[in-house]
Chain A
């Protein structure tokens, strides 16, 4: 399996209290339930759901990607909830 770094941003990070995870996954789609499970494991009271993660914009190594995007070993996948208002 491929080891990727997952970074959480915005309210996702504030709600989960988790900044970064290391996961094994081959695609963004595959990653989402794994991230959710890991968040629950680390923080049993964590309210972040798979739906919340699917509702994020995702960037891999700083480039926007879709859910079907494949991951490579060492990739950094970042999850950004929609934000506005400055």
Chain B
């Protein structure tokens, strides 16, 4: 139980082998320190994993966690998080999803679900109003994700004699066959990254459904409603969250990335794709978009609806457009929409699938691994995806990801991954702070977990993307802020509304140019805030999240505490990963990005990683080995 509002007050440990559910102790002190979501999951993994487990061990845990804002009507607060040991990276990872499972998990009465053990045979789990029921999933095994969810809905409706409103998570064939980058799908949304679907598959867990009548309470309804009204109005009037994202979705970034040399092309050989217009957000909007849509309680509505074979489905996001477009030298937008749908149906991460394919195409070209794949020759890729998901032929090898393949065949220098996870579509040699983020990110080559510095370095603001100055400090601040935003259950896209609109609306103005020029010199000031966030023991309308947590939960939250929560989350995840061998040695990028300039005439168009890493570790207060000391963990209240 809890004295805080917003929470359901129950965390459940579900043992699949014993088919038993028991309450897991999660105190109000834990809630104050970790809020919820991925931070909560990281703390649970820190408490339960020893460093000896592997991803497919029954002893590995899956933590599905919501935030206190999930299901309360706070803007864009529908997110939930799946964390586990990743079969792709061998360390802990989290995957965030906008599907409706989190919302219904809370309606079923729970803040989080911890899953351990393994079912004897394919199983799906039904959660309903605080109770757990195990069902045979033999008839579902082999089905794709949409078919699975349709079958589950029918089964629930038939069992209850009425239409049941519920949330679901399900895996497809890729998860069943332990593809190391298999995703978990909720509705049409994916917890795409890090192979969480394969962990489900290793436990013979095909799906979970959640339904119920519980409703989270809000501490101060009046203040929360007034705050949300203002916040939603601000989101809707902002040039990014009110115009660009609703009109073009994340796909709208393709053109800007091209302009800035940030669009991964030909397995990151470069940052500009000659045929970018064909796979841009503009082309998607003009030729294939039927409408836009959004997650529950989201005023941004960035998702696209497109038609594939006459069926209306979810459209591709920027990462998918970039990595299945220019990075494979493919300029066919319809194919990308089709592949995006097929990969979701098979339950496979589009980013890692595309990154692995790009590596394989280059390995084939260089004669390292004769596999028949080639840049620009993409007619047969649908079959390749099926082969990966079912581990047939070369698909069985591609299912291992680019890191393992490059260790086997050679070509590590152009395996575009960090800690085993393939990078997103932002080419970091023109945004070196983003490169630092990719390298140090706890879950591997992730643009968001890395701090998304590219939002300062060309996409959003226009800070010099080549200078390392100040980047380590901003990287830490943005990582911690994004961790904290995620803990509450809110979408990170709300944070784009924090960028001052007057700067975005006038990028050529003297003021904006001055801000862009001086930001790198603000590193020391940011470092002071990073070191002593408690100095910000107040709230400002500029940062609406602490207010939201305060009004919804009743916690005494302010800017300083909020940032400190984010820092704690980042450190606890790092600490548990240290048990699995992570250190400064793990924080690296392929040589293509650190040693080879993107522009041969400009030696600075590469990521000066070692230099930035040292500053980053100092900023974080970590040891030279890239790990938090016991003293640091104690200071954060972790141990």
Main secondary structure of the interface of B (DSSP, over half): helix
Q: Given A14, A55, A82, which contacts B460 in the complex, CB threshold below 8 Å? A: A82
Pair A84/B455 contact, Cβ less than 8 Å: yes
Stretch in contact with the other chain, from B169-177, B247-255, B471-479: B247-255
Residues of chain B within 8 A (CB-CB) of A81 are 239, 244
Total interface residues on B, CB under 8 Å, equals 40
Q: B248 contacts which of A11, A54, A67 (Cβ < 8 Å)?
A: A11
B81 interface hit (Cβ, 8 Å): no
- Complex alpha-carbon distance, A84 and B499, angstroms: 10
- How distant is A78 from chain B, measured CB to nearest CB, in Å? 8
Distance from A86 Cβ to chain B, minimum over Cβ atoms (Å): 4
Chain A contacts with B in 23-57, Cβ cutoff 8 A = 54-57
By a CB distance below 8 angstroms, the chain B residues around A14 are: 247-248, 282, 285
Nearest Cβ on chain B to A57's Cβ, whole angstroms:
6
A22 at interface, CB cutoff 8 A: no
| A86 near B318: Cβ-Cβ < 8 Å | yes
Q: Which residues of the other chain, A, contact B240 by a CB distance below 8 angstroms?
A: 82-85
Instruction: Please report the C-alpha to C-alpha distance between residue A8 and residue B235 in the assembled complex, in whole angstroms.
Output: 25
Structural contact, A84 and B459, CB atoms closer than 8 A:
yes
Which of chain B's residues have a CB closer than 8 A to the CB of A13? Answer: 282
CB distance from B375 to the nearest CB of A (A): 21
**Is A64 in the interface zone, CB < 8 Å from B?**
yes
Does the CB pair B496–A10 fall under 8 Å? no
CB distance from B208 to the nearest CB of A (A): 29
What chain A residues lie within 8 Å of B286 (beta carbons)?
Answer: 19
Give CA–CA (A19, B508) in the complex, Å. Answer: 22
Contact with A along B221-252 (1 / 0, CB 8 A): 00000000000000000011101110110101
Q: Chain B nearest CB: distance from A55 CB in Å?
A: 5
Count: A-B pairs, CB below 8 Å:
95
CB of A86 within 8 A of CB of B253, answer: yes
- Chain A 2-17 interface 0/1 with B at a Cβ cutoff of 8 Å (1 = within): 0000000111011000
CB under 8 Å from chain A, chain B span 299-319 = 302, 317-319
Pairwise interchain contact B493-A85, C-beta atoms closer than 8 A: yes
Which of B247, B250, B281, B504 is A82 in contact with, Cβ under 8 Å? B504
Report A-chain residues with C-beta under 8 Å of the C-beta of B285: 14
Q: In terms of DSSP, what is the predominant structure of the interface of chain A?
A: loop
Contact with B along A62-77 (1 / 0, CB 8 A): 1010110000000000
How many whole Å from B466's CB to the nearest CB in chain A?
14
Within the assembled complex, what's the spacing in Å between the Cα atoms of A83 and B239?
A: 9
Query: Closest residue of chain B to A9, judged by CB?
Result: B255
Q: Is the CB of B507 within 8 A of A83?
A: no
Q: Which of B244, B425, B507 contacts A85 (CB 8 A)?
A: B244
* B422-446 residues at the A interface, CB under 8 angstroms: 424-426
Q: Do A86 and B508 touch (CB < 8 A)?
A: no
Contacts A10-B255, A14-B247, A14-B285 given; indicate if A84 touches B460 (C-beta within 8 A): yes
Complex partner residue of B256 from A10, A55, A67, CB under 8 angstroms: A10
The answer to whether A83 touches B252 (Cβ under 8 A) is: yes
- A59–B259 CB distance below 8 A: yes
Is B154 part of the binding interface, using a Cβ–Cβ cutoff of 8 Å?
A: no
Q: Do A83 and B247 have beta carbons less than 8 Å apart?
A: no
Chain A residues whose C-beta falls within 8 Å of the C-beta of B496 in the assembled complex = 84-85
* A84 in contact with B259 (CB, 8 Å): no
Which residues of A are found within 8 Å of B206, using beta-carbon distances? none
- Minimum CB–CB distance for A17 against chain B, Å: 9
Determine the distance from Cα of A83 to Cα of B493 in the docked complex, in whole angstroms: 13
A86 to B318 alpha-carbon distance, docked (Å): 6
Residues of A within 8 A of B508 (CB): 54-57, 66-67
User: In this complex, what residue of A is CB-closest to B452?
Assistant: A86
Interface centre among A59, A67, A81, A84 (most CB of B within 10 A): A84
A86 to B454, CA, bound (A): 10
* A57 to B503 CA separation, bound complex (whole angstroms): 13
Asked whether B180 is an interface residue with its Cβ less than 8 Å from the other chain, the reply is no
In the complex, which residues of chain A have a beta carbon less than 8 angstroms from the beta carbon of B145? Answer: none
Cα(A64)–Cα(B465), bound, Å: 14
With contact pairs A84-B253, A84-B499, A86-B319 given, residues A55 and B505 touching in the complex (Cβ less than 8 Å): yes
Can you name the residue of chain B whose Cβ is closest to the Cβ of A14? B247
Given contact pairs A84-B240, A86-B318, enumerate 15 new A-B contacts (beta carbons under 8 Å).
A10-B256, A10-B282, A11-B239, A11-B248, A14-B247, A14-B248, A57-B256, A80-B259, A82-B240, A83-B248, A83-B253, A84-B459, A85-B253, A85-B302, A85-B496
> Which residues of B are in contact with A by a Cβ distance under 8 Å?
239-241, 243-245, 247-248, 250, 252-253, 255-256, 259, 272, 280-282, 285-286, 302, 317-319, 424-426, 447, 455, 459-460, 462, 493, 496, 499, 504-508
5 closest residue pairs by CB, A with B = A84-B460, A86-B318, A83-B256, A9-B255, A86-B250
